[in-house]
Structure 1
Amino acid sequence: MARLKKHEKAFIVRSLAQFMEPSQVAEAVKENYKIDVSRQQVECYDPTKVAGADLSQEFVDMFHEARKKYIDQPIYNIEAANDIVQLRVLSALFIKKQGNTRDAIKLSDQIQKIVKGYYEKKIEITGKDGKPIETINQNVSTESYLTAREQALNDY
């Protein structure tokens, strides 16, 4: 079990609060701090898990605060939520997968859906106070249609 400094522990806690898997966090710690930590050691810093039951109150508060900030952030802060980023990634995949017809067609369809606004929000039209729109059915005699047709024929 690696001995961690406070800022390394805080990194782990914030990463777990952002719904990263323990294995992903372990890889990130190795990449950023050059320290090998196990998934089990990382799980000890997640207060929502049994392993994190003994976590200090400071880190528990940090976890909940980081999770709240992560959930409450506007969607435009998430890179993959932007159409441009999605199109760039899909375009690169499309170029790689051109030899695979099925995948290329799926990627092409996905790109077209994004470009044409398939995923845009739809507006639901309702009546007053959210009730269904009222419709009125009126019966019209067929004689009026016949006379209109006859008049049109006579005009020729």
Structure 2
Amino acid sequence: MPALSPDIKTFIVQQLACFDTPTQVVDAVKSEYGQAVSRQVVEGHDPTKKAGQKLAKRWVDLFNETRERFKTETADIPIANKAYRLRALHRMAVRAESIKNMALAAQLMEQAAKETGGAYTNKQQLEHSGPNGAPIQSADMTPGRFRDVARGLMEDV
């Protein structure tokens, strides 16, 4: 296998930094440059893998810079924006209703409800009230009171 040119190495490192798999990078190199490379060669250009531990500092720096830029520029991708996704779901639901595909329209509405309800985030919503929105009842658990409650529970058994 011929040595890789600096352009191909740069391409491989940047693709890996953007979280592409080695197999995806192999296919991309073949289509972009017409050169066949193995998955092992590609993995050797990933400093986060064991095979890439001895990668030159130049490539490690390029990898880290590209990875940071990729992470921060995710906001520039429209589909990463909630409002964009909701508008797209709305267009699809209207189209599904117009062709009388009610099952698809219902699925799209459910998808939109999950999207607005935060089903696709890692945030947790906690309810800070008692039953039916009433205040949370606190119990008096001083040592004497705790003993009385425990006796009452034991008597019920």
**For this structure pair, what is the TM-score category when the shorter chain's length is used for normalisation?**
0.5 to 0.7
Deviation at 1:75, TM superposition (A): 3.1
- Greater mean deviation of Cα atoms: 75-84 or 20-29: 75-84
Question: Cα deviation per residue 1:125-153 (whole Å; 9 max; x = unaligned)?
Answer: 98xxxxx468389xxxxxxxxxxxxxxxx
Question: Cα deviation per residue 1:3-60 (whole Å; 9 max; x = unaligned)?
Answer: 2111111110010011111000000001111111111110010001111112110000
Q: Which has the larger radius of gyration?
A: 1
Query: Across the two proteins, how many residue pairs are aligned to each other?
Result: 118
Deviation at 1:78, TM superposition (A): 5.2
- Greater mean deviation of Cα atoms: 2-11 or 116-125: 116-125
Unaligned runs of 5+ in 1: 95-103, 127-131, 138-156
Judging changes above 3 Å, is the alpha-carbon distance between structure 1 residues 110 and 8 closer, same or farther for their aligned structure 2 residues?
farther
TM-score by length of 2: 0.59
Q: Which amino acid aligns with 1:83?
A: R
For residues 40 and 119 of structure 1, what CA distance do their matches in structure 2 show?
39
TM-score by length of 1: 0.59
Deviation at 1:117, TM superposition (A): 4.2
* Structure 2 counterpart of 1:69: 69
1:111 pairs with one of 100, 108, 111: 108
RMSD: 3.5
Q: Counterpart of 2:48 in 1: which secondary structure?
A: coil
Q: Which amino acid aligns with 1:73?
A: E
Judging changes above 3 Å, is the alpha-carbon distance between structure 1 residues 80 and 73 closer, same or farther for their aligned structure 2 residues?
closer
For residues 29 and 50 of structure 1, what CA distance do their matches in structure 2 show?
22
The 5 Å alignment of 1:92-103 reads none
